[in-house]
Amino acid sequence: MKTLVIINPSSAGGKALESRGEIESSLDAQNIDYKIHISKNLEDMTNTVKSNLSSDFENFIAAGGDGTIHYIANVLVGSNKKMGAIPLGSGNDAAINLGISSDIADCCKIIKNGKTKSIDVGIINDKYYYLCIAGSGFDSEVTDLANNTKFPIKGPSKYKYSVYKTLLTFRSKEFTFSYDGQERKMQGMLVAASNMSSYGGGMKIAPDADPCDGLFDICIIKRMSKPHFMKVFPKVFEGKHTDDPCVEIFRTSELTLSSEYDFSIFADGEYICKLPAKFKIVPGILDFLVP
């Protein structure tokens, strides 16, 4: 069983690359037949996976954060290859949702054991796959700021900072969304199509989302005052915001979404496109190495 480990040297400010020695020693300790590839950029990362789909590599391991997993998964979806993760990014929500710890030795044991789970993925406009959550509205504005902030902060703290800064100027907008034969309009803060429970470094926007049930958990944050939002927001990290009357969650396999404002869509922390968009769930199409 051959394993290709792709290290994203830019993940978490270079943490992934600094961990190369520990990754190699842990793989050696498990007697895993592997090759390390240090990606030069996103194009090199995806091209490396594509060029090895017909090779004898069976496992493709993303050593980085959610973005690294996102781009590698977009190539592997629908193949007969197995995907794994050594989570070394600033958020690592995909790995956390699948029960994969950030301990490198433990990750290598998972690779050695070879146990997989066939998970669902979301697809946007029949083109862009994602594992965790795709959001548009307030959260996409936050993610854009977090991805581009120059402050030396990482992980949940970076997102908290971005949330409160975005809140200073953000105003709710009208969203139009259709699903299961019905169409609705709503003044709201955000709409998130969730395949897993958390994003943004641990924000459990859809705490009961299950990547194996064939459905999205759609979370809608309706219009609310800034003081109300500031009261509700800290509850998101524990998934305790769902009982608020301005929060609605429902399940569906498809969602069409548009807005009066040209919000961006971010999925797995990566920019995808602008609204409008159509979201679909693709059941059990990716085999992921899990504990």
Asked whether residue 123 is assigned to any structural domain, the reply reads no
Do residue 83 and residue 21 come from a single domain?
A: yes
Do residue 107 and residue 134 come from a single domain?
A: no
- Domain assignment of residue 243, given as a range: 130-283
Residues 64-114: tens digit of each pLDDT = 999 999 999 999 999 999 999 999 998 899 999 999 999 999 999 999 999
Do residue 152 and residue 276 come from a single domain?
A: yes
Last residue in a domain, options 58, 83, 114: 114
Asked whether residue 271 is assigned to any structural domain, the reply reads yes
Q: Which backbone phi and psi does 216 adopt, to 5 degrees? A: -80, 150
Q: Assign residue 202 a region (left: φ > 0; alpha: ψ between -120 and 50; beta: otherwise).
A: left
Do residue 263 and residue 210 come from a single domain?
A: yes
Do residue 51 and residue 175 come from a single domain?
A: no
- Which CATH number is 17's domain given? 3.40.50.10330
Asked whether residue 125 is assigned to any structural domain, the reply reads no
Residue 152 has pLDDT above 70, yes or no: no
CA distance 2 to 109: 15
- Which CATH number is 255's domain given? 2.60.200.40
Number of separate domains in the chain: 2
Contact residues for 162 (Cβ-Cβ < 8 A; gap 6+): 142, 143, 145, 146, 149
Do residue 135 and residue 104 come from a single domain?
A: no
Do residue 229 and residue 152 come from a single domain?
A: yes
* Helices 42-51 and 66-76: angle between axes, nearest 10 degrees: 40
Last residue in a domain, options 114, 142, 173: 114
For the ranges 54-63, 67-76, 141-150, 164-173, the lowest mean pLDDT is seen at 141-150
Do residue 98 and residue 168 come from a single domain?
A: no
Contact residues for 236 (Cβ-Cβ < 8 A; gap 6+): 203, 204, 205
Asked whether residue 260 is assigned to any structural domain, the reply reads yes
In this prediction, residue 234 has a pLDDT band, given cuts at 50, 70 and 90, of confident
| pLDDT, position 155 | 60
Q: Cβ distance 153 to 160 under 8 Å?
A: no
Last residue in a domain, options 114, 139, 160: 114
Asked whether residue 289 is assigned to any structural domain, the reply reads no
Do residue 136 and residue 261 come from a single domain?
A: yes
For the ranges 6-15, 18-27, 104-113, 207-216, the lowest mean pLDDT is seen at 6-15
Do residue 140 and residue 78 come from a single domain?
A: no
Do residue 136 and residue 278 come from a single domain?
A: yes
Do residue 136 and residue 262 come from a single domain?
A: yes
Average pLDDT over residues 110-119: 98
Asked whether residue 218 is assigned to any structural domain, the reply reads yes
Q: What is the DSSP string of 35-76?
A: EEEE-SSHHHHHHHHHHTTTSSEEEEEEEE-HHHHHHHHHHH
